[in-house]
């Protein structure tokens, strides 16, 4: 994992399969959401790899309906758009013949829904559409959707959606839609006019869409309008591309390289699950990446023919959102696109909007005058709220049992996916919205119940539960995923199915219903408060997804009011039939008249590591029949066991407990202390103080979100691990997180307390730290206090249970096993082992190392890091203090405009004054809560000091390092990854001992230019120079290896940039075919070394500077970025201070090409380069 730069957010994004949303983990107090997207090309001034945009776009997809319909609880299933090669397709899985399947696979009983007590006229009330949204159709058939949005300011998003994807391909065209995306996007001359403007462009292909999009400032730095050239570029890309033979050959190579890159095990698991879920239509077979043998032989004319058939205005929609007047955006769009000729296919034009414009027989896509290919679903349950409505999208019933089992040698745990498909219910009325809320309530209850079961049972497992609409598949899907150890999966699956059955058969308790209904309402209120800060990227994604099913698009001001009406109409009696509809396919599996699952896909490992034998051993094969019997024969719980209420504490740390620690008259003493302890930076607004126990506090006001963020940072992590105790930091943090409780409270009590107060807590160990990250709703005034109570008890009375420790130990061992299933991880381990042969702390701890660690020593080490000397702890808080002030002031309620005591509306000056008063009140309340709950923790618990914090020491270029380290993974598919790199300084320009010796011999100095001492001596100067260098080298690598030589689809250049540790590394990572990996590695090495002979130009620095500035300005709209900025401001052994926040853009603007060229000397390119090559395929011979 790479450490964050001092001022740039670099979150580690956890990959979660795209087929579920809510992720239940036995190892956390958190809810993880999926991040997945499918970008094909990405350009920011010059070409950048699509992988740089892979995560950010899909997180927007996951949030869109949350803000506008259901208060954050509906998450769309977003599908990756690639396909494995034809070799993978040959791996067929046997299914149970129909004759052996139970009768439930033939027909299911009709649904019976309870009679609703709400008046019919209320249920039929139509949801209000956003009046500020412009929708229409140009004379040539191009649809447009336009909306003004000022987040981020002075920027816009333009997306041109061609309603054609892989399912529109004929049998001999598999991969053509994706190939056309590359040809059109990179074959446009007008797109190059955006280079250097700060605009970014990209493209993606999925089952039924090809989308080209531009993200741009409204004007350039010189004041030039950018909307016009952006729309001209989109028009040129889609409707006037150049089909040059040279360009087609270049993109053919790029697509084939991309095919190699994406063909990971995770991707293949997704294709296997989709093949099971959609076995009755092309969604289960026609993946956008296509077939290699077909891609290699397409001619120019064949590419043109596909373009002529699908690329025309009547099959496209322009979505335009930005900080500009709607009419101005519309007039520009008309001027540019109106001249594109129409394609007349019929005398009767197809309808453009509403339900009549949707083709239910082809994934609910826009109806065309010509027929689309039919794609029907074998729905197993009807549309929610109906007794038997399957819509016109229903195809033939399933003819085989949907259970499939796949065994694969690279899997290290068991993954079982269970699905049921239903028709989507468009959300147009109050009744529709009610039916959308109920499944989310059930998902929340089931998630918590399973989480508690996993923790109490000592299971190292994760369970994902979701019900959502997928506009890319044209259906609604209920999904449940179980991931567990190979030794434990049966017990985990047994308990999960039993809990599902308990909710279906007995419902939920009154307390659960009230608690989670309130949570839905609080989430709706939070999202309504955040609606004004919804990014244009999120908004445009919401518009596109809502357009598919005809969902209402409400104005932010209508969202909270509508959701308030909904919550009061839901009843406990409706939960059980909704659970029956949603989860009956699992609860009644194999029973007469039960709805069958659409698919059950089990991915099984073939081997596991045996601790006793110290090696991998073969696992017995799991059959479809055995899995069928297991799902069918799970017994039910009785009603008393299923409905067992839990007492939820009102507070974890009541006032009398604090008085026992602080004394009964501590209030005056506290306020006097705080009055003299705080320091405020007038330029940034950052507030700093130290508590009586020595703990350091930073906090900052932002208006980015209604969620507050809090971080406890403890220097330590892997760097503090003593010899012979490798992995002890990671295991300690995981054990604390797995416990899920503190003091004498049960795990379930703490989980429910967190649900009630909206808390989310995560404990993480990395190479430099152990940290506790938490979020909480600012609008809920008691949430920050509840958060601090939990942290207070975590610091004073942590829970260390043997069963929790064993589960955490097994989870860490599973992480080590992942190395054997991931080519990227295995290659990186090989690279780091070459660079640090005598320091194993940089590597993943092994099974043997973890097995040697006991609970008592792990507890002692972790408590020395986190609890023994609190004066090393740094607390950082980022939240909207004005919003908190409103919540703390009962007189204001939820009013957006304040009034005085007589009810008269305040003037602007009075309004500002009152808001300032709110903020000051909230800041005082926050400081007092921090003082009480964190300042009351003992300064030191024992006489034992903190573990020694030691830098990682790199090696010289040893004789056995003169050749690349090699690893090979056995697999039917061939892939290769190579890494070349060496030593680099940390964020502050400081290296480890060997790096420092190299720099001394070179005579290297950051203060190389005596004419600019104020710049070169600035604390940010080294990191800014290194980040500019990183951007420039990445651009050169992409330009040479991808564009010039066609050796790779993407290449990355990374820097570790530690904050506390001295030294670190740089590395170039290339992915290619095994037959080309040596050439790609040498080419990457040459590009890096040639920087010495081809100096960095002023133009390259200007382009990189603009890219970094735009990214920094965009990141400032997130609390995560501000938490990163505040972190380390008061940490010992770092040079960071408030100037590292205040002066970012100033330093960035002053850095010149000579400074970046000098920074290149800080890389040990000439002294020591280390190489590693990882291959994957059926043979161990490296070609």
Kindly report, residue by residue over 98-130, the tens digit of the pLDDT: 333 333 333 456 677 888 888 888 889 999 988
pLDDT bracket for residue 1033 (50, 70, 90): very high
Q: What is the pLDDT of residue 942?
A: 61
Helices (H) and strands (E) in the chain, counts: 38, 30
SS3 for 419? strand
Alpha helix stretches (DSSP H) within 613-701:
624-633, 639-642, 655-662, 666-677
SS3 breakdown of the chain: % helix, strand, coil, rounded to 5? 45, 15, 40
Q: Is the peptide bond before 152 cis (omega within 30 degrees of 0)?
A: yes
Neighbours of 238 (CB within 10 A): 26
d(CA 1038, CA 911): 52
Residue 1011 has pLDDT above 90, yes or no: yes
d(CA 315, CA 163): 6
pLDDT tens digits for range 1113-1153: 888 888 999 999 999 999 888 889 999 999 999 999 999 99
Question: 783-796 vs 908-933: helix axis angle to the nearest 10?
Answer: 20
pTM for this prediction: 0.85
d(CA 157, CA 1108): 19
d(CA 354, CA 757): 40
Q: What is the pLDDT of residue 913?
A: 82
Q: Structure tokens of 707?
A: 């969620």
pLDDT tens digits for range 158-188: 999 999 999 999 999 999 999 999 999 988 8
Q: What is the pLDDT of residue 538?
A: 85
Q: What is the pLDDT of residue 532?
A: 63
Residue 348 has pLDDT above 80, yes or no: no
Percentage of the chain with pLDDT > 90? 54
Q: Is 251 a catalytic residue?
A: yes
d(CA 988, CA 1133): 11
Tokens 């009696």 correspond to 573
Q: What is the pLDDT of residue 108?
A: 55
Q: What is the pLDDT of residue 51?
A: 31
Active-site residue, selected from the candidate residues 5, 44, 181, 512:
181
The order of strands in the sheet holding 200-205 is 46-48, 39-44, 200-205, 210-217, 155-162, 316-322, 143-148, 134-137
pLDDT bracket for residue 530 (50, 70, 90): low
Residues 6 or more apart whose Cβ sits within 8 Å of residue 488? 459, 460, 461
State the DSSP string of 31-90: -B------EEEEEESEEE-GGGTHHHHHHHHHHHHIIIIITT-------------HHHHT
* Bridge partner list, 46: 44
SS3 for 594? coil
Q: What is the pLDDT of residue 943?
A: 61
Q: What is the pLDDT of residue 528?
A: 66
d(CA 284, CA 404): 14
Residue 332 has pLDDT above 90, yes or no: yes
Q: What is the pLDDT of residue 888?
A: 72
Tokens 């319909």 correspond to 69
Q: Structure tokens of 1066?
A: 């740089």
Residue of 1124, 1125, 1047, 1128 lying closest to 1086 (CA atoms): 1047
Q: Is 910 a catalytic residue?
A: no
Q: What is the pLDDT of residue 778?
A: 87
pLDDT bracket for residue 964 (50, 70, 90): confident
SS3 for 429? strand
Active-site residue, selected from the candidate residues 5, 44, 169, 251:
251
pLDDT bracket for residue 225 (50, 70, 90): very high
Interval 635-658 mean pLDDT: 88
Residue 889 has pLDDT above 70, yes or no: no
SS3 for 899? strand
Residue of 1118, 1121, 1119, 1111 lying closest to 1145 (CA atoms): 1111
329 with 157: CB under 8 angstroms? no
d(CA 237, CA 213): 10
d(CA 1161, CA 989): 11
């Amino acid at each position: 994992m790479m450490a964050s730069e001092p001022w740039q957010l670099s979150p580690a994004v956890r990959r979660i399969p795209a087929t579920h949303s809510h992720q239940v983990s036995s190892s956390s107090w958190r809810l993880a959401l999926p991040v997945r997207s499918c970008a094909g090309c990405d350009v920011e001034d010059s070409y950048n790899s699509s992988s740089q945009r892979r995560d950010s776009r899909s997180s927007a997809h996951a949030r869109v309906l949350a803000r506008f319909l259901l208060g954050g609880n509906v998450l769309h299933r977003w599908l990756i758009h690639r396909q494995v090669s034809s070799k993978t397709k040959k791996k067929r899985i046997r299914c149970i013949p129909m004759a052996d399947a139970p009768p439930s696979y033939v027909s299911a009983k009709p649904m019976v829904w309870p009679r609703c007590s709400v008046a019919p006229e209320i249920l039929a009330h139509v949801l209000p559409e956003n009046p500020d949204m412009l929708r229409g159709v140009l004379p040539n058939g191009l649809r447009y959707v336009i909306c003004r949005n000022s987040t981020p300011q002075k920027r816009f998003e333009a997306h041109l959606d061609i309603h054609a994807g892989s399912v529109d391909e004929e049998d001999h065209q598999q991969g053509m839609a994706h190939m056309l995306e590359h040809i059109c996007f990179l074959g446009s001359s007008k797109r190059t006019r955006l280079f250097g403007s700060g605009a970014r462009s990209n493209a993606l292909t999925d089952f039924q869409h090809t989308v080209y999009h531009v993200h741009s400032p409204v004007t350039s730095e010189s004041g030039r309008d950018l909307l016009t050239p952006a729309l001209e570029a989109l028009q040129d890309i889609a409707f006037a591309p150049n089909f040059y033979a040279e360009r087609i050959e270049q993109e053919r190579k790029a697509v084939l390289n991309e095919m190699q890159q994406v063909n990971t095990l995770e991707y293949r698991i997704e294709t296997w699950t989709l093949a099971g879920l959609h076995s009755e239509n092309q969604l289960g077979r026609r993946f956008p990446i296509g077939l290699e043998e077909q891609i290699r032989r397409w001619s120019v004319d064949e590419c043109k023919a596909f373009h002529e058939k699908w690329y025309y205005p009547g099959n496209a929609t322009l979505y335009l959102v930005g900080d500009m007047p709607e009419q101005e955006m519309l007039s520009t769009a008309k001027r540019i696109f109106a001249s594109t000729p129409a394609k007349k296919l019929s005398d009767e034009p197809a309808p453009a909007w509403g339900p009549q414009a949707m083709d239910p027989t082809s994934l609910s896509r826009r109806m065309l005058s010509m027929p689309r290919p039919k794609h029907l679903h074998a729905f197993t349950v009807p549309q929610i709220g109906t007794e038997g409505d399957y819509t016109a999208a229903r195809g033939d019933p399933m003819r085989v049992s949907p259970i499939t089992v796949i065994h694969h040698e690279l899997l290290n745990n068991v993954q079982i996916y269970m699905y049921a498909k239903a028709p989507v219910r468009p959300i147009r009325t109050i009744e529709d919205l009610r039916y959308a809320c109920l499944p989310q309530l059930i998902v929340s209850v089931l998630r918590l119940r399973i989480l508690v079961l996993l923790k109490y049972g000592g299971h190292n497992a994760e369970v994902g539960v979701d019900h959502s609409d997928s506009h890319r598949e044209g259906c609604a899907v209920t999904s449940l995923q179980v991931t567990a150890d190979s030794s434990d999966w049966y017990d985990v699956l047994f308990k999960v199915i039993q809990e599902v059955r308990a909710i279906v058969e007995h419902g939920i308790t009154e307390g659960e219903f009230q608690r989670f209904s309130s949570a839905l309402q609080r989430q709706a209120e939070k999202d309504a408060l955040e609606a004004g800060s919804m990014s244009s990227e999120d908004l445009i994604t919401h518009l596109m997804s809502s357009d598919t099913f005809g969902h209402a698009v409400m104005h932010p001001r209508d969202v909270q009011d509508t959701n308030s009406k909904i919550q009061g109409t839901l009843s406990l009696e409706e939960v059980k039939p909704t659970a029956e509809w949603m989860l009956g396919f699992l609860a009644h599996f194999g029973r007469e008249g039960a709805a069958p699952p659409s698919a059950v896909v089990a991915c099984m490992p073939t081997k596991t590591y045996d601790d006793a034998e110290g090696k991998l051993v073969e696992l017995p094969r799991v059959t479809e029949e055995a899995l069928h019997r297991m799902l069918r024969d799970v017994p039910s719980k009785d009603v008393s066991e299923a409905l067992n209420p839990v007492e939820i504490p009102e507070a974890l740390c009541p006032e009398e407990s604090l008085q026992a620690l602080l004394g009964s008259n501590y209030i005056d003493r506290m306020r006097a202390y705080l009055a003299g302890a705080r320091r405020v930076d007038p330029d940034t607004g950052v507030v700093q103080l130290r508590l009586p126990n020595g703990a350091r506090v930073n906090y900052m006001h932002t208006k980015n979100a209604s969620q507050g963020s809090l971080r406890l940072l403890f220097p330590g992590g892997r760097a503090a691990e003593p010899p012979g105790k490798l992995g002890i930091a990671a295991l300690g943090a995981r054990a604390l997180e797995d416990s899920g409780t503190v003091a004498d409270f049960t795990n379930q009590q703490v989980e429910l307390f967190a649900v009630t107060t909206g808390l989310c807590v995560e404990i993480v160990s990395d190479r430099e730290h152990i940290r506790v990250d938490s979020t909480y709703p600012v609008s809920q005034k008691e949430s920050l206090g509840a958060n601090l109570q939990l942290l207070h008890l975590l610091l004073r009375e942590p829970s260390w249970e043997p069963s929790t420790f064993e589960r955490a130990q097994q989870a860490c061992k599973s992480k080590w096993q992942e190395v054997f299933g991931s080519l990227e991880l295995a290659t990186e381990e090989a690279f780091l082992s070459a660079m640090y042969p005598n320091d194993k702390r940089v590597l993943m701890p092994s099974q043997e190392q973890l097995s040697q660690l006991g609970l008592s020593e792990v507890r002692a080490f972790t408590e020395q890091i986190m609890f023994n000397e609190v004066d090393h702890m740094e607390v950082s808080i980022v939240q909207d203090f004005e919003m908190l002030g409103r919540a703390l002031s009962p007189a204001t309620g939820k009013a957006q405009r304040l009034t005085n005591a007589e009810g008269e509306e305040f003037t602007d000056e009075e309004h500002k004054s009152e808001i300032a008063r709110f903020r000051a009140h909230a800041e005082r309340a926050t400081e007092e809560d921090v003082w009480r709950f964190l300042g009351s923790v003992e300064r030191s618990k024992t006489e034992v000091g903190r573990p020694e914090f030691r830098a990682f020491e790199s090696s010289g270029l040893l004789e056995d390092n003169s050749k690349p380290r090699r690893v090979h993974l056995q697999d039917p598919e061939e892939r290769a990854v190579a890494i070349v790199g060496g030593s680099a300084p940390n964020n502050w320009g400081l290296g480890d001992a060997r790096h420092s010796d190299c720099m001394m011999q070179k005579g290297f100095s950051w203060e190389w230019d005596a004419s600019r001492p104020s710049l070169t001596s600035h604390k940010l100067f080294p990191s800014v120079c290194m980040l500019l260098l990183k951007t420039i080298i990445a651009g050169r690598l992409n330009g040479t290896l991808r564009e010039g030589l066609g050796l790779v689809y993407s290449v990355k250049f990374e820097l570790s940039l530690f904050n506390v540790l001295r030294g670190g590394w740089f590395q170039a990572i290339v992915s290619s075919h095994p037959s080309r990996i040596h050439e790609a590695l040498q080419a990457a090495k040459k590009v890096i070394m040639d920087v010495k002979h081809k100096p960095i130009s002023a133009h390259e620095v200007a382009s990189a500077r603009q890219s970094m500035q735009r990214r920094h300005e965009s990141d400032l709209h997130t609390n995560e970025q501000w938490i990163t900025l505040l972190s380390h401001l008061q940490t010992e052994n770092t040079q960071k201070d408030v100037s590292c926040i205040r002066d970012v853009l100033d330093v960035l603007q002053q850095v010149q090409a000579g400074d970046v060229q000098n920074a290149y000397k800080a890389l040990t390119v000439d002294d020591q380069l280390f190489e590693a090559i990882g291959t994957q395929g059926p043979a161990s011979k490296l070609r």
